[in-house]
């Protein structure tokens, strides 16, 4: 009915308002970091994890609920993260959490192993479409083998089965691998988009992957050329 559609739209709008404050703060920090990178002050920043891939809107609540790492900022190297942290501290811009790709390479073997998905469930990691292959390991870092299923009864049967799993429902109920359950209240939304926009080109990836110039090289680049 029309009334039901209006109620659902109002509910989504209310959810967006709830998230807007936190998201706005995070966006401000990311904007400052990206501006500094364009000026050559920082290097190797790819962006917010949740913006580096997409997932069908059906799974928005599930992935937003089960993967808080979507708000983390992905960088190429640990040294890039260190420079970002120091930049934020110096500018008094706040705090941010960074995922350094070179420090999560240990997960690649596990990510590549065959995973047997229990019946009536799907692995969230398999549902994510990344903007570039390089970001797959970052999503695996956040999601690991988290499963998604239709309802809480199904989730309970899977989570507490012979092999323990972290399971989240489409409604946002979650059972951790330790056995703890969380849910209730307003479900979280908006952690990822459902369509790819503003693709990061292969050229931009290659540019960000290069070894950051040394302080000596950066100083030379700022020196005026001789006539």
Mean pLDDT of all residues in the chain? 85
CA 64 – CA 90 distance, rounded (Å): 31
pLDDT tier at 27 (50, 70, 90 boundaries)? confident
User: What's the average model confidence in pLDDT over 41-52?
Assistant: 97
User: What's the average model confidence in pLDDT over 88-109?
Assistant: 97
CA 203 – CA 194 distance, rounded (Å): 24
pLDDT tier at 222 (50, 70, 90 boundaries)? very low
User: What's the average model confidence in pLDDT over 34-63?
Assistant: 97
Nearest Cα to Cα of residue 45 among 92, 94, 87, 91: 87
pLDDT tier at 26 (50, 70, 90 boundaries)? confident
Share of the chain above pLDDT 90, in %: 72
Backbone angles phi and psi of 130, in degrees to 5: -85, 150
Nearest Cα to Cα of residue 153 among 198, 120, 199, 187: 120
- How far from 160 is each of 32, 143, 212, CA to CA, in Å? 44, 19, 47
Task: Tell me the pLDDT tens digit for each residue of 75-85.
Answer: 999 999 999 99
Strand ordering across the sheet containing 174-175: 122-123, 147-149, 167-169, 174-175, 181-182
Task: Tell me the pLDDT tens digit for each residue of 187-198.
Answer: 999 999 998 765
CA 210 – CA 87 distance, rounded (Å): 20
Does 183 have pLDDT greater than 90?
yes
Contact 184, 152 (CB under 8 A): no
Does 180 have pLDDT greater than 70?
yes
User: Using N-to-C axis directions, what is the helix angle for 2-38 and 78-91, rounded to 10°?
Assistant: 100
pTM of the entire predicted model: 0.79
Task: Tell me the pLDDT tens digit for each residue of 125-154.
Answer: 999 999 999 999 999 999 999 999 999 999
Tokens found for residue 133: 């292959």
pLDDT of residue 141: 98
Contact 190, 60 (CB under 8 A): yes
């Amino acid at each position: 009915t029309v009334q039901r559609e209006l109620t659902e739209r109002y509910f989504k709008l209310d959810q967006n308002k709830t998230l807007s404050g936190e998201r706005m703060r995070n966006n401000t920090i990311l904007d400052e970091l990206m501006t500094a990178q364009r000026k050559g002050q920082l290097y190797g920043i790819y962006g917010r994890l949740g913006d580096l891939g997409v997932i069908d809107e059906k799974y928005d609540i599930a992935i937003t609920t089960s993967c808080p790492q979507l708000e983390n900022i992905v960088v190429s190297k640990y040294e890039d993260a260190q420079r970002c942290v120091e930049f934020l501290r110096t500018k008094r811009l706040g705090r941010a959490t960074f995922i350094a790709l070179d420090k999560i390479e240990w997960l690649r073997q596990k990510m590549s192993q065959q995973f047997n998905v229990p019946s009536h469930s799907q692995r969230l990691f398999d549902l994510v479409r990344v903007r570039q292959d390089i970001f797959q390991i970052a999503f695996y870092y956040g999601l690991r083998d988290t499963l998604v299923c239709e309802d809480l009864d199904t989730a309970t049967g899977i989570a507490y089965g012979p092999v323990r799993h972290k399971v989240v429902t489409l409604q946002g109920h979650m059972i951790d691998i330790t056995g703890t359950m969380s849910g209730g209240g307003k479900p979280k939304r908006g952690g990822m988009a459902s369509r790819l926009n503003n693709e990061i080109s292969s050229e931009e990836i290659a540019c960000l992957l290069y070894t950051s110039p040394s302080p000596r090289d950066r100083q030379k680049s700022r020196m005026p050329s001789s006539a």
